[in-house]
Amino acid sequence: MAPDAPASTLAPGVQTVVSFLLFVHLFALAVGITSNESPSELETALRNRTGVRAYLEPTMMDLSYAFTFTYGPTTGPGGDTQAWVEVELNLPDGTKRTEIIPGTFPYLRQRARRYESLARRAVTMIGNPTFESMIPAAIVNRLVAETGATGGTVRCGWRQLPVVPFQPTGEQEHTTYQARILVSDGAVELFKIESASESAPTAEKKADQKIEGATP
Amino acid sequence: MIRSYLGTLVDRFGRGWNQFWFSPSDPLTVSLLRLLTGLLATWTLVTYTWDLDRLLGAQGFIPLADLKTLVDQRDLQSGLSGAYRFSYFDYLTTPGQLRAAHAVSIAVVAAYTLGLFSRVTSVAAWFIMLSYFHRTAIVTSQFEAVLVFLMLYLCLGPSGAYLSIDRWLKRRRSPAAATLAPLSSAATISLRLIQVHTCAMIVMMVLAKMYGDVWWNGTAMWWMMLNSPERIVDLRSWGSHFLGKYVLNAWTHAQVLLELLFPVLVWQRWARPLMIVWAQTMWSLLPLVSGLVSFSLAMQIAMIAFVRPDELRMLWAGFTARHPDAEPAAS
C-alpha cells in the first residue's frame, strides 16, 4: 500500500490466479448491483446466464444497495411508512389477548426492525389476492399454536403520514386487511372481512400437530 | 504510436493493479475489523434468541414454503428465475434443534470475535450469518447486507494476526516470536475488497437518493424522524423553527454531499483523513433520527478499512501515552 512497499508475498502464479478471481468477482458484483433497479435486458441476461446469480445469491451480494432511508411523504403502504399487524385472540379461558407487530423492544432495535419489516411486507402485499393473506395467516397460525386461542381477528394496516414537511400533524391509520380467525379441528382459517360482508376463506393453514404447545 | 500507447496502458495498468491489490500490508487493520464485525455479529445472533421459534422455526411467522414463494415472486418480478440461497435452518424442524444450532452458532461467532482458530472460524462465522439472513430474508434490512460482505472479505486476510487468542497462544508457545506479524498480501486483498465494495455501495446509495425530492430539498432527515419509531432522539419540533429547519436542511445536504464525495476523494491521500472523519461523524449521527444503529455501526466499521495500519498504530500510541496501563496493539 505504501509507495516503497515490498513485493507481493504471493507467488507469481498464485497472483495471476488471484487476479483472475478478482476480475470475476468484481464483474459479478457490478452485474449484481446494477441489475436490481430497472435493469436493462443486457444486465438481466448477464445476471441470469453467466452464473452470476449462482455466485452472488448464496453470498447475499445480489443487492442493489440503493439505501435511501426515506422516501419522504407517502400516500400508500408501499413507501417507508409505518405498518402494523394486530392479532386479537380469544383465549380458551374466555379472555382476549392482543398482539401487535412490531412490538416495542427497548435496547433491541434489531428485533424491532425485523418485526417492522415483517409488518411492512404483510401490508405491501395487500391487494394481491394470491399473497395478501400469506403472512397474516402464518402469524396467526403461530400465535394460535402458542396460546391455544379459539378464534379472534387479525388486522393489517399502515399509518398515513403528513404530506407537508415540518408539520407533524395529520397522521391517519388505515386498516387495509381484516380477517376473522376460525380454529377448528387443528386447522386455522382466515375469513377475510370485506366491508360489512365476509368472503370465502382466503387462507387455510393446517396447524402442525408436532408443534410443542399447539392446541387444536 | 497506437501500439506504443496500448503497450504503455497495459503496462501501467498491470503495475497499478499489482500495487493496489498485492502490496503486502500490516494485518493490524483486518484484525481490528475482525474484532469489531465479530462483536456486531455476536450481538446480532443474541438478538435472535428471543425469536427463534417465531422467525426461524418451521411453523413460525415465516414458514419455509412462504419464504420461498415470496422470494421467488420478487425474483420473477425482476425477470429472474430460481434461487440459490442456502440456510441450515431449512433443515431444522424442532425447537430443540433450533436451540442447539443457535447455541453452537453463537459459540462459533464468539470464537471468531475473540480470534480463536481464526482461519476456520472466520469462514464458519460468515456461513452462519448467511444462514440466519437467508432464512429470514424477508425481514432483513440494510445492516445485514453490509455485515455479510465485511465478514466474507475478512475470511481472506490473516484477521487473527493481532488482537486475538490465536496470537496470544502463538506467543505463549514461542516467546521469542517476532513482535510484529509479517506483512501480508492477503491482508491487502481483504482490505481492498472491503474498500471497493464500500465505495460501490455508497455510490448506489447516493444514486438512489438522487431520485427522491426529500434529499434535494433538505427535508429527508425530518422525514426520517417522522417515519422511524426507533429514532433515538425526536427533533421533529425543530421543523417549526427556522434555525431548526436550517440545521435539518444542512444535515440532509451534508449526508448527500458525503456520499457524493466519499467514493472519489477517499482515494486521495490529502482528502482521505477528512473523508473518514466526516463519514464517521455522519454515520454516528444517522441513528439518532433513523434508529439504524446496527447499520451505522457496520458502516463505521467499514470506514476503518480506509485507515492505514501505521495510522492505527499512531492512534494507539497516542492512546497508550494517555493510558500507560493499556496493552499495546502490536504486542
Confidence band of A1 (pLDDT split at 50, 70, 90)? very low
Q: Output B218 or A38, whichever has higher pLDDT.
A: B218
Residue B313's region, left for phi above 0, alpha for psi from -120 to 50, else beta, is alpha
The percent of residues in chain B predicted with pLDDT above 90, rounded, is 60
Confidence band of A74 (pLDDT split at 50, 70, 90)? low
Closest Cα in chain B to A116: B139
Q: Output A210 or B50, whichever has higher pLDDT.
A: B50
Output the pLDDT for position B98: 94
Q: Tell me which long-range contacts A6-11 makes (C-beta under 8 A, separation of at least 24).
A: A6/B23, A6/B24, A6/B183, A7/B24, A8/B18, A8/B22, A8/B23, A8/B24, A8/B185, A9/B24, A9/B182, A9/B183, A9/B184, A9/B185, A9/B186, A10/B22, A10/B185, A10/B186
Q: Residues B227-236, buried b or exposed e (16+ Cβ, 10 A)?
A: bbebbeeebb
A76: pLDDT strictly greater than 50: yes
Torsion sign over Cα B63, B66, B70, B73: positive
Output the pLDDT for position A82: 81
List of chain B residues whose C-beta atoms are within 8 Å of the C-beta of residue A77: none
CB-nearest to B223 from A25, A116, A165 is: A165
Residue to substitute from B72, B74, B75, B84, interface A, most A β-carbons within 10 A: B84
Report in angstroms the alpha-carbon separations of A130 from A147, A176, A202, B69, B290.
28, 16, 9, 11, 33
Mean pLDDT in chain B?
A: 89
Angle at A121 between CA A119 and CA A122, to 5 degrees: 65
Least confident of A82-96, A109-123, B201-215, B223-237: B223-237
DSSP-derived pairing of the beta strands A197-206 and A187-194: antiparallel
Output the pLDDT for position B196: 97
Closest Cα in chain B to A66: B205
Least confident of A139-148, B204-213, B298-307, B319-328: B319-328
Give the three-state DSSP class for A212: coil
Least confident of A30-44, A68-82, B39-53, B129-143: A68-82
CA distance B89 to B86: 9
Q: Output A162 or A96, whichever has higher pLDDT.
A: A96
Q: Output B58 or A160, whichever has higher pLDDT.
A: B58
Closest Cα in chain B to A47: B80
Retrieve residue B172's grid coordinates. 505463549
Closest Cα in chain B to A160: B227
A203: pLDDT strictly greater than 70: no
B257: pLDDT strictly greater than 70: yes
| C-beta of residue A102 within 8 angstroms of C-beta of residue A158 | no
Q: Detail the DSSP E strand segments found in chain B.
A: none
User: What are B48-85's pLDDT values in tens digits?
Assistant: 999 999 999 988 999 988 888 888 776 666 666 656 78
A210: pLDDT strictly greater than 50: no
Output the pLDDT for position A205: 39
DSSP-derived pairing of the beta strands A83-90 and A151-160: antiparallel
Of the spans A8-22, A151-165, B31-45, which averages the highest pLDDT? B31-45
Output the pLDDT for position B239: 73
Taking CB atoms and an 8 Å limit, are A58 and B63 in contact across chains?
Answer: no
User: Maximum CA pair distance of chain B?
Assistant: 72
Instruction: State how far residue A108 is from chain B, nearest Cα, in angstroms.
Output: 7
CA distance B171 to A81: 54
| C-beta of residue A100 within 8 angstroms of C-beta of residue A119 | no
Torsion of CA B89, B91, B96, B102, to 10 degrees: -20
B41: pLDDT strictly greater than 60: yes
| C-beta of residue B132 within 8 angstroms of C-beta of residue B45 | yes
Mean pLDDT in chain A?
A: 79
Output the pLDDT for position B74: 67
A185: pLDDT strictly greater than 90: no
Output the pLDDT for position B255: 95
Output the pLDDT for position A4: 46
H helix or E strand, kind and range, residue A172: strand A172-184
Residue B72's region, left for phi above 0, alpha for psi from -120 to 50, else beta, is alpha
CA distance A116 to B140: 10
Taking CB atoms and an 8 Å limit, are B138 and A60 in contact across chains?
Answer: no
Of the spans A101-115, B4-18, B57-71, B99-113, which averages the highest pLDDT? B99-113
Retrieve residue B312's grid coordinates. 492505527
* Span A103-107, average pLDDT: 72
Angle at A65 between CA A63 and CA A68, to 5 degrees: 140
Confidence band of A9 (pLDDT split at 50, 70, 90)? confident
Confidence band of A66 (pLDDT split at 50, 70, 90)? confident
Closest Cα in chain B to A171: B226
Output the pLDDT for position A129: 82
* Span B258-283, average pLDDT: 95
Q: Which of B170, B82, B109, B113 is closest to B301 using CA atoms?
A: B113
User: What are B216-247's pLDDT values in tens digits?
Assistant: 989 888 888 887 777 888 877 777 777 888 99
Torsion sign over Cα B216, B222, B226, B228: positive
CB-nearest to A72 from B78, B184, B223 is: B223
Confidence band of B146 (pLDDT split at 50, 70, 90)? very high
A7: pLDDT strictly greater than 80: no
Cβ-proximal residues to B75 (8 Å cutoff; 6+ apart), any chain: B81, B82, B83
Torsion sign over Cα A54, A59, A61, A62: positive
CA distance A136 to A124: 12
B313: pLDDT strictly greater than 80: yes
Output the pLDDT for position A79: 62
* Span A25-54, average pLDDT: 86
CA distance A47 to B82: 12
| C-beta of residue A58 within 8 angstroms of C-beta of residue B84 | yes
CA distance A175 to A124: 12
Q: Output B151 or B324, whichever has higher pLDDT.
A: B151
Torsion of CA A3, B311, B297, B256, to 10 degrees: -60
ipTM of the complex: 0.88
B110: pLDDT strictly greater than 90: yes
Torsion sign over Cα B38, B43, B46, B50: negative
Output the pLDDT for position B101: 96
Q: Tell me which amino acid residue B173 is.
A: R
List of chain B residues whose C-beta atoms are within 8 Å of the C-beta of residue A7: 24
Report in angstroms the alpha-carbon separations of B229 from A64, A82, B48.
25, 8, 20
Taking CB atoms and an 8 Å limit, are A8 and B54 in contact across chains?
Answer: no
Retrieve residue B317's grid coordinates. 500510541
Output the pLDDT for position A20: 95
DSSP per residue, B55-84: IISTTSSS-HHHHHHHHHHHHHHTT-----
Residue to substitute from B127, B185, B228, B296, interface A, most A β-carbons within 10 A: B185
B21: pLDDT strictly greater than 80: yes
Output the pLDDT for position B331: 33
Angle at B22 between CA B18 and CA B114, to 5 degrees: 160
Report in angstroms the alpha-carbon separations of B137 from A84, A118, A156, B113, B131.
19, 10, 21, 24, 10
Number of residues that this document lists for chain B: 331
Of the spans A40-44, A76-80, B94-98, which averages the highest pLDDT? B94-98
List of chain A residues whose C-beta atoms are within 8 Å of the C-beta of residue B84: 53-54, 57-58
Output the pLDDT for position B225: 84
Report in angstroms the alpha-carbon separations of A68 from A71, A168, B220.
7, 21, 9
